[in-house]
Chains A and B, each alone.
Chain A
Amino acid sequence: QEVTLTLEHFLPAQANVPRLVLDVWADKVEADSEGRIKIERYPTMQLGGTPPELIDHVQDGIADIGWTVVGYTPGRFPRTEVFELPFMVEDARAASYAFNKMYQEQMADQDFAGLHILGTWVHGPGLFHTKDPVAKPADLQGMKIRGGARLVNDLLTRVGAEPIGMPVPAVSEALSKGVLDGTTIPWEVTPAVKVSELVGNHTEFEGPGLYTLTFVLAMNEDTYASMPEDLQAVLDANSGVDFSIFAGGTQADADAPARKIAVERGNNIMTISAEQAQADWAPIVDPIYASWIADMEGKGIDGQALIDEAKKLMSEYTSDMDTWGK
């Protein structure tokens, strides 16, 4: 092959996203290039360092391509936080579509300047996985709960939990040692970090999710620029809005089988109805919108406009836009 690219991420190779999204993508790129591109995959941070460094690894070319949670580097990509707001996202495909549109419109030259972004997406609805049952915010009082991003930790603080920030691979060790009483993550990643074995209770929300996290598949700009044009075209054909919809959708579709594992273990799954969520949870978490808008204003960003734009784009999404790989 002509070009060997390294692809680095933080999850084990057989976890849902590496297996169903990243491998599928990398295999397709290899095939579309007729073997001229080879993508070497390094799961579980095998090249060294910690998950928050992934984006720097890509910027410096330590890895050519990296998949990371945007929230692991708080403050660095402020506009993406619009999708982390509570009860903002219901459909991961629609949100991934909106995220990619907004990336192209305004984030590419600002938040992500210096990086070549291949895909942008969000996971399915985030929820609580706890050792003791949680039905109302009061049940979370004093619990040590892991959050993966700045706004999630803000949310945890508001409901009275003690937020502990750590990347997802650290969760199983922390749960098994008793460092955590619970964690927020989507269903999809629970098998990979054994969460359903380590806790017995799950609290999910009907309708819009409590929160979501945003992801990017990022590439080193110089590596991209150094590739021959026809190989750049192969990458271009496999990045952008349709790939982002595929990635977000596939990740969200993996929620159901993961949830089934918890059901089969006999874990207690509590589903908060949309009315209950409005009555018990919304009054506590909704002020996050106002504080976030104020936050953004301090950075010279119009937060309300981002919220409006995200909502407009999400409602614009239709299933016939889901075309990548089909």
Chain B
Amino acid sequence: MQSVHRLVLGIARLMAMLGGAVLTLLILITCISILGRASNSVLHAMASAGILPGMAQGLIDAGVGAIRGDFEMVEAGMAFCIFAFLPFCTVTGGHASVDVFTNFLPRGVNRVLEVLIAALFAAVLVVIAMQLNEGFARKLNSGQTSLLLEFPIWWSYALSLFGAVMSAAVGVYVALVRLIELLTGRAIMPNAVGADH
């Protein structure tokens, strides 16, 4: 069981790193776009003020400027990042909750609660993935594109769907582990938040 848990944790961490890599890419795209935009303004100012106008215009024509559709890329990429982040947050119990009152409840009640909450979470994550798939199917057939780059919207839905399916799988896994823990009395997954650090 411990080896299964290590495997799931590893996959979740891999997803988080994939999300982190995409996040880094988005940060770089954004910064390059700002740089391009600023250079573009300077070049325009140079061209109209007559400072090296040929070179300035040449660089403008060569495409020195903001990256077209940078906002859209951030939006599509960020949706993927968050879906990719969800499995790690879920498997390490990172979701914010209030334990003020449950601390007074008997241990057994708390363990049952733990199972019920994990089951609810699994159900919700599965529903989210299923319905995102519905949304994806609709975009696939509608011909809808993004506004500037005009890439099909379903591309970004497909990326997110991958993360959503992984999240749902991890959610179901966590629920099963909590159930096995309740039935066998063994501790497989630490209860506390921040277990992984």
Residue in chain B with minimal CB distance to A148: B147
Q: Which among B37, B143, B152 has the highest number of chain A CB atoms within 10 Å? A: B143
Q: Is the CB of A142 within 8 A of B143?
A: no
Question: Bound complex: CA of A299 vs CA of B41, how far in Å?
Answer: 37
Question: Bound complex: CA of A95 vs CA of B191, how far in Å?
Answer: 65
Which residues in B have their C-beta under 8 angstroms from that of A149?
A: 147
Q: Is the CB of B147 within 8 A of A74?
A: yes
Question: Bound complex: CA of A142 vs CA of B37, how far in Å?
Answer: 8
Question: Bound complex: CA of A74 vs CA of B142, how far in Å?
Answer: 10
Q: Is the CB of B144 within 8 A of A74?
A: yes
Contact of A142 among B40, B147, B148, B152 (CB under 8 A): B40
A248 contacts chain B at the CB level, 8 A cutoff: no
Which residues in A have their C-beta under 8 angstroms from that of B66?
A: 162
Residue in chain A with minimal CB distance to B138: A56
Considering only residues 51-86 of chain B, those with a C-beta below 8 Å from chain A are 65-66, 71-72
- What distance in Å separates the Cβ of B195 from its nearest Cβ neighbour in chain A? 34
B44 contacts chain A at the CB level, 8 A cutoff: yes
Residue in chain A with minimal CB distance to B142: A76
Q: Is the CB of B65 within 8 A of A142?
A: yes
Interface of chain B: mostly helix, strand, loop or mixed? mixed
Which residues in B have their C-beta under 8 angstroms from that of A76?
A: 142-144
A78 contacts chain B at the CB level, 8 A cutoff: yes
Considering only residues 102-118 of chain B, those with a C-beta below 8 Å from chain A are none
Residue in chain A with minimal CB distance to B147: A165
Question: Bound complex: CA of A165 vs CA of B150, how far in Å?
Answer: 11
Q: Is the CB of A165 within 8 A of B148?
A: yes
Question: Bound complex: CA of A149 vs CA of B37, how far in Å?
Answer: 22
Which residues in B have their C-beta under 8 angstroms from that of A162?
A: 37, 40, 65-66
- What distance in Å separates the Cβ of A59 from its nearest Cβ neighbour in chain B? 8
Question: Bound complex: CA of A74 vs CA of B41, how far in Å?
Answer: 29
Question: Bound complex: CA of A162 vs CA of B44, how far in Å?
Answer: 13
Given contacts A75-B143, A75-B145, A75-B150, is CB(A164)–CB(B71) below 8 Å? Answer: yes
Total interface residues on A, using CB and 8 Å? 19
Assign chain B's interface to a size class: 10 to 19
Given contacts A56-B138, A142-B41, is CB(A163)–CB(B148) below 8 Å? Answer: yes
Which residues in A have their C-beta under 8 angstroms from that of B148?
A: 153, 163, 165
- What distance in Å separates the Cβ of A241 from its nearest Cβ neighbour in chain B? 27
Q: Mark A109-150, 1 if CB is under 8 A from B, else 0.
A: 000000000000000000000000000000001101001011
Which residues in B have their C-beta under 8 angstroms from that of A203?
A: none
Which residues in B have their C-beta under 8 angstroms from that of A147?
A: 147
B146 contacts chain A at the CB level, 8 A cutoff: yes
Q: Is the CB of A165 within 8 A of B71?
A: yes
Question: Bound complex: CA of A226 vs CA of B146, how far in Å?
Answer: 34
Question: Bound complex: CA of A150 vs CA of B138, how far in Å?
Answer: 20
Question: Bound complex: CA of A166 vs CA of B142, how far in Å?
Answer: 20
Q: Is the CB of B72 within 8 A of A165?
A: yes
Q: Is the CB of B138 within 8 A of A74?
A: no
A6 contacts chain B at the CB level, 8 A cutoff: no
Question: Bound complex: CA of A325 vs CA of B33, how far in Å?
Answer: 51
Q: Is the CB of B65 within 8 A of A74?
A: no
Known: A73-B142, A74-B147, A141-B44. 11 other contacts (CB 8 A): A75-B143, A75-B145, A75-B150, A76-B144, A78-B143, A142-B37, A142-B41, A142-B65, A147-B147, A150-B145, A162-B37
**Chain B interface residues (CB < 8 Å from chain A):** 37, 40-41, 44, 65-66, 71-72, 138, 142-148, 150, 152
**Chain A interface residues (CB < 8 Å from chain B):** 56, 73-76, 78, 141-142, 144, 147, 149-150, 153, 162-166, 299
Can you sample 15 A-B contacts with CB below 8 Å? Answer: A73-B142, A74-B145, A74-B147, A74-B150, A75-B143, A75-B150, A75-B152, A142-B37, A142-B41, A149-B147, A150-B147, A150-B150, A153-B148, A162-B65, A299-B143
Closest 7 CB pairs of A and B: A165-B147, A75-B145, A76-B144, A75-B143, A141-B44, A73-B144, A142-B41
